[in-house]
Amino acid sequence: MEVVQPKDLQQYFGLARRRNVELCRQKRVFDARNRIIGGDAEAWDIQVHNQKIKEATEKARHEAFAAEMRHNDKITCLLEDRLRRDRKNVCKAINDFQQSFQKPETRREFDLSDPLALRKDLPARQSDNDVRNTISGMQRFMGEDLNFQERKRFQQEQNREWSLQQQRERKDAQAGQKCAEDLYRQTRLQWDETAKHIQGLGSATRRAACAAVKEFNKSQATESAERKSREKNQEQEDSLAEISNLLRGDLLSENPHQAASSFGPHRVVPDRWKGMSREQLWQIRLTQKQQVQEKLRLQEEEHQRDRGLDRQRVQTARTALLLERQQRRQQRDLRRALDRSNLSLAEEQLSQKKSMKEVYTNQPTEDYFTQFNTGSR
């Protein structure tokens, strides 16, 4: 049984990865769309998807606006239809009133435009006492008014009838106007009641929303006040505990052992440290003097080492210069030999091309062209 080594698995995985990369590259290279356009199709698909989502959102928002506009238009149309119907009823009532109580025959000036006036008219003269015998008719003259009392009584009666008729017409007109005003007032009251009802519904909705918001704000304010009260009590308790600890602790008593740190004997707590002792200061100054002497010694050693390095660097530069000159001479000789070899090879290749032109004069077959574009490289 053959044992598979980790190295063989690594080679196998590397070969599979290269094959997968080659297949992906062939897919990109041999795809005419991606090769010609040179774009990222996946990114375009994502952009198209995002654009469709955006368009769907805009469409839903426009449809919501359109539904609200249709609702408002429907309400407006209903109100306009109601107003048009009320106006039509008012006009119909006015026309009915005019047809019933304001006929042309009842007018005082109807005799001037009556089409049957000639048929109804009396003869030009019936007798000498005819009231229609005017002065221009040369039937009666000044001073011959024999029927003065009767004519005067007739004129008074006629004036009284005219006055009564005018009063009746005025009362009828006032009654018709009052009826129209009452109808118009009732229509306006009905419209006002409808608008008031709609406004009341809106006000009730707003009051309910305001009450809910007010109740929520009230609960939030109560919770905030309780939380602040608890925080304030906790802060007071912490302050009292801190004051008690400071009064009973070692900070105000200036105990030197309180600055000792738990991380080591050479560490101190900065907010409790009261300063160093004389022994510690003397030890620090002694350590500083030793450090200065050590630093001077190290500087002298570094100076000696730098001078040695400078001498070594100069020697190395001189050696490198000599080697570089020798290398340039060798390269010049090699280039001359290579030029001579290339010249001879070029002459040989030129002569071989001439001979190949004479020997191979056949046309390429279909197999010659099918060997291309078989790989992505």
Convert the pLDDT of each residue in 157-207 to its tens digit: 999 999 999 999 999 999 988 898 888 888 888 888 888 888 888 888 888
Q: Contact 147/130 with Cβ under 8 angstroms?
A: no
Exposure letters 58-88 (e unless 16+ CB within 10 A, then b): eeeeeeeeeeeeeeeeeeeeeeeeeeeebee
Question: Which amino acid, one-letter code, is at 256?
Answer: P
Report the pLDDT value the prediction gives residue 1, as an integer from 0 to 100.
Answer: 46
Lowest mean pLDDT among 107-111, 339-343, 357-361: 357-361
pTM: 0.23
pLDDT tens per residue across span 139-154: 666 665 666 778 888 8
3 state SS of 114: coil
What is the average per-residue pLDDT within 292-315?
89
Report the pLDDT value the prediction gives residue 72, as an integer from 0 to 100.
Answer: 92
| pLDDT classification of 222: cutoffs 50, 70, 90 | confident
Whether 251 has a pLDDT exceeding 80, the answer reads: no
Report the pLDDT value the prediction gives residue 359, as an integer from 0 to 100.
Answer: 62
CA distances from 60 to 44, 150, 184, 224 (A): 24, 92, 43, 40
Q: What is the largest CA-CA distance in the chain?
A: 174
Choice between 363 and 93, residue whose per-residue pLDDT is larger: 93
What is the average per-residue pLDDT within 241-269?
67
Lowest mean pLDDT among 75-89, 163-177, 183-197, 362-376: 362-376
- Cα-Cα-Cα-Cα dihedral of 143, 145, 146, 152, to 10°? -140
Report the pLDDT value the prediction gives residue 69, as an integer from 0 to 100.
Answer: 92
Choice between 306 and 264, residue whose per-residue pLDDT is larger: 306
Contacts of 115 (CB under 8 A, 6+ apart): none
Average model confidence (pLDDT) for the chain? 81
| pLDDT classification of 85: cutoffs 50, 70, 90 | very high
| pLDDT classification of 257: cutoffs 50, 70, 90 | low
Choice between 301 and 45, residue whose per-residue pLDDT is larger: 301
Q: Contact 142/135 with Cβ under 8 angstroms?
A: yes
Q: Contact 261/268 with Cβ under 8 angstroms?
A: yes
Whether 4 has a pLDDT exceeding 60, the answer reads: no
Lowest mean pLDDT among 167-181, 203-217, 313-327, 328-342: 203-217
Whether 218 has a pLDDT exceeding 60, the answer reads: yes
Report the pLDDT value the prediction gives residue 25, as an integer from 0 to 100.
Answer: 79
Lowest mean pLDDT among 48-62, 153-167, 202-216, 358-372: 358-372
Q: Contact 376/34 with Cβ under 8 angstroms?
A: no
